[in-house]
Structures are given as structure tokens and as C-alpha cells.
Structure 1
Amino acid sequence: MKIALLGYGRMGKEIEKIAISRGHEIVIRKDVDDDIEISLADVAIDFSVPTSAFKNISNCLNNNVPVISGTTGWLDNYKEAVALCTEKKGAFIYASNFSLGVNIFFELNKQLAKMMQTIEGYTISMEEIHHTLKLDAPSGTAITLAEGIIENSSKNNWELAEKTSEENIAIVAKRIPDVPGTHTVWYASEVDTIEIKHTAHSRKGFALGAVIAAEWIVNKTGVFSMKDVLNIR
């Protein structure tokens, strides 16, 4: 499989290692403003920056190249990307996190929220910790976790705050050198605390999931998610 890497930072380089180890060829390595011939690739993996992601995705869809994107911070344009994918009969996956473990964690988070929905006396809060070079806060993963809780609770939204309000879930975002990513969800009461947590030990998990998603999407048509890739719907 011929892969275009759209974004060649630390994640791009980690994806390259995993892809080559699985027998794939990297035919494009794109930095932010490079001009590329995207049609050389069988599939594109976008881990660029928020200001480049939608342009990258559009270029792929306009040239009939399946694309998966793990870039966060560009989702104001997500509906446009979905519409373009449908119009061009293309293939597209966006995920806030491609780690296989995190995607299982997303489902555990939703199930716990459903279980806690009718139990009184618990306050929900969240924390995410990432490396100091991460551009957005809270992380896309934290937002996905918050949305999973909102779907299954009386909360209406999330906010960057120390303390959860009546309507919103508080997310604390910390930036510490060399932390790949840690996400924690708490339900705390006067008598006990329930905690679920995912800790990434390296970027390899994110890279492996991205390559697996790229392998899966080739020769498909539609807008998909990691639930489709992992068959956990």
C-alpha cells in the first residue's frame, strides 16, 4: 500500500516506522506548505496542524484518495468534509484518537455514564495531560470523552474549568514535557470515588491504530469511525 503522510512531525515519523514494518511504502511526506501530487498514494494519513487539516482532507477527497485524519482543532469544517466526501463518493475517517485502547476506553466511558445516569450524589470531572508541544486544549480525546458523557447524562456541555457546574463537565488540561497522553474521568461523592483512566506509554499505540485504519479504509466508500474499523458498534 502506498501511503501519503500529511504532516511529518513526531506522529508522522512514528506512523512511518509502523507502516514500513507492516510492508507499506511511504510515497509522500508533506510538511505544512508543501505542494504534493496526492494521486500517487493509495491512502493518506493526516496528522498535520489545525490550519492545514481541512485543506489536506479536501485535496484527498477531490482526487479520490481515501483519507484518515487524527488532527484536532479543525472541526468547525467537519460537516463540510463529510459533505465533500459524500459528493465525491470518497472515503474518510476522522478520529480524535486512533489508539485501539483509547477507542475501547471511549466505549467504557459511555457505558459508565449510562450506569451513573440515575444515581444521585456523584460529581463528574475530567483531566487530560499531554506534552507541552500539543497545540489544542482540551485534547480532542478529552472532548470525545465529554461528549460520550453528555449523550448519557443531564450535562449540556463541557468547559475548561477546575470544578464541574450544574450544566457543564469540568475538564482540567495540563501540559507536562514528554507525556504522550493521559485521560481520567472521575465520579466523586461524599462516600467514594469511581475512576476510569487511560495512560499512553508512547506514541506507538496512536500510530498503529492510524495504520490499521488506513489499511481498513482502502476500497471503501463513505464516512466512517474507529467503531467501524474495530467492529464495536
Structure 2
Amino acid sequence: MKIALIGYGKMGKAIETIALAKGHSISHRIGSQNPELLEKASLSTADVAIEFSTPETAFPHILQCFEANVPVVCGSTGWLDHLPQVKALCLEKHQAFLYASNFSIGVNIFFELNQRLAELMAHQHQYDVHLEEIHHTQKKDAPSGTAISLADQILAKLARKKTWINEARAGADLLQIVSKREDPTPGTHTVTYTSDIDDITITHTAHSRQGFAAGAVVAAEWLQGKKGIFTMKDVLDL
């Protein structure tokens, strides 16, 4: 499989290492210094693109992949205002698109635990809930895409919470996300339900980028040859 890496930072290089070890080849290494490689005639030689760039560039990168008829696995966060448009264009142009806020297999199992716990807490009004996420200081978006996914899952199950906020503000109907930036921290996400009697906490702690990178390669392998819109739930059959 020939992979175009769109975004060749620390994550792109971690993906490259795993992909090469699995016998794949890298057709493109596209970073901020060589965006011209995204031209249709060049990118179309790839079997799949893995996109880990910035909130500002992810959307146009995805569109360029569609134009080049290349399936795209996207892990960039902070651009999701454009997601409905991407989904519509994917279907219109008969392309393949897979987005995940986090490709780690462990995190995606954590998502399933988070949803189930929120279901169990739906009628336990004595518990409040909040989230905390910790990442390295170079992470550009806050809260993280993973934290937003966790929050959206909770909001879907707890009618008493109306929206999430990323600031210290009181309100029984608000779901607070506390974002911290520390080094070195690949990523920790914690969901805590608290009452006067006890606390219930679930936590996922990443030890390195390897879990995210390995999951992205697995997703790219799975997406090849498919058409439509997918998530890691499809890849992992969750």
C-alpha cells in the first residue's frame, strides 16, 4: 500500500515508522515546506492518504484528496465546523473518508466505556460530571478532539447537561472540560462523576504516540478499496 502522509510532524513520522515496518511504502511526505505535492497529478499515485495537519489546513487537504480520488484517513482536530460539508462532498463524489478524534484502539474502547457509564448515570442526578485532558504544550487546540468526543457522548446520554464549556463557570447544566498543557505528556483523558458520597472515575493515559500512529495505519489498511464515510467504530467493529 502506498501512503501519502499529509502533515509530516511528530505524528506523521511516527505513522511512517509503523507503516514501513508493516511493509507499506510512503509515496508522499507533505509538510508545510512542500504543499505543492498535493496537486492532483501527484497525489493520485497514492493508495490512501493519512492526514494529520492543523485546524486551518485539514479541510482543504481533505478536499484535495477527494479531487485526486484518494481515500483519506483524517486525524486532525479543530476543523469540525466543516465536517457536514466534507461528508456531503464525500458522498457526492463517491469518495472514502474516515475521521477519528483519536485512532488509538485503547481510546476507542474507552469511548465505549464512557458511553455506557453515561447511560448508567442518566438517572443518577446526585452525581455531577466533569472532564480533564492533559497534553503536551505544543498541542494547538484546546480542548482536545478526544475530550470533545467524550463530552459529546456524555451530552447525548445526560439530559441534565446542555453543553460543554472549556472554562471555569458555574452551572448545573454545563459540562466542564479542564484543559492542561504540560511536558512531556502524550495525552491523558479523565471523566469523573462526583457526589457527596463517592466519586467514579475512568481514565485513559497514553504512554507514547505509538498507539495513535498504529491505529491510523490500521484504519488506512481497512479503508482501502471502500467508498463512504466511516469511523473507528467501523474499523474495530465496536
Question: Are the equivalent residues in 2 in contact too, given 1:110–1:148 (CA < 8 A)?
Answer: yes
The equivalent residue for 2:182 is 176
The reply to whether residue 218 of structure 1 matches residue 219 of structure 2 is no
The equivalent residue for 1:16 is 16
| 3-state SS of paired residue (1:40) | coil
The reply to whether residue 110 of structure 1 matches residue 115 of structure 2 is yes
Distance 2:171 2:71 in 1: 41
The equivalent residue for 1:34 is 35
**Which structure 1 residue ranges, 5 or more long, are not aligned?**
none
The equivalent residue for 1:7 is 7
The equivalent residue for 1:76 is 81
The reply to whether residue 231 of structure 1 matches residue 232 of structure 2 is no
- Cα distance, 1:83 vs. partner? 1.1
- Cα distance, 1:62 vs. partner? 1.4
Q: Deviation digits for residues 6-25 of structure 1, max 9, x if unmatched?
A: 00000000000000011000
The equivalent residue for 1:206 is 212
**Residue of 125, 130, 133 corresponding to 2:130:** 125
The equivalent residue for 1:149 is 154
Identical-pair percentage: 55
- Cα distance, 1:161 vs. partner? 2.4
Q: For residues 92 and 164 of structure 1, do their structure 2 counterparts lie closer, same or farther at Cα, with a shift above 3 Å needed? A: farther
| 3-state SS of paired residue (1:174) | strand
TM-score (norm 2): 0.96
Q: How many residues align?
A: 232
Question: Are the equivalent residues in 2 in contact too, given 1:184–1:196 (CA < 8 A)?
Answer: yes
The reply to whether residue 193 of structure 1 matches residue 199 of structure 2 is yes
Distance 1:115 1:68 in 2: 33
Distance 1:41 1:151 in 2: 38
Divergent runs of 4+, >3 A:
none
- Cα distance, 1:163 vs. partner? 5.6
The equivalent residue for 1:46 is 51
Distance 1:105 1:229 in 2: 15
TM-align CA RMSD: 0.9
Q: For residues 223 and 136 of structure 1, do their structure 2 counterparts lie closer, same or farther at Cα, with a shift above 3 Å needed? A: same
Distance 1:77 1:190 in 2: 41
- Cα distance, 1:177 vs. partner? 1.1
- Cα distance, 1:79 vs. partner? 1.0
The equivalent residue for 2:141 is 136
| 3-state SS of paired residue (1:184) | strand
**Which structure 2 residue ranges, 5 or more long, are not aligned?**
none
Distance 2:117 2:29 in 1: 41
Q: Report the residue type matching 1:76 in the other structure.
A: D
- Cα distance, 1:63 vs. partner? 1.5
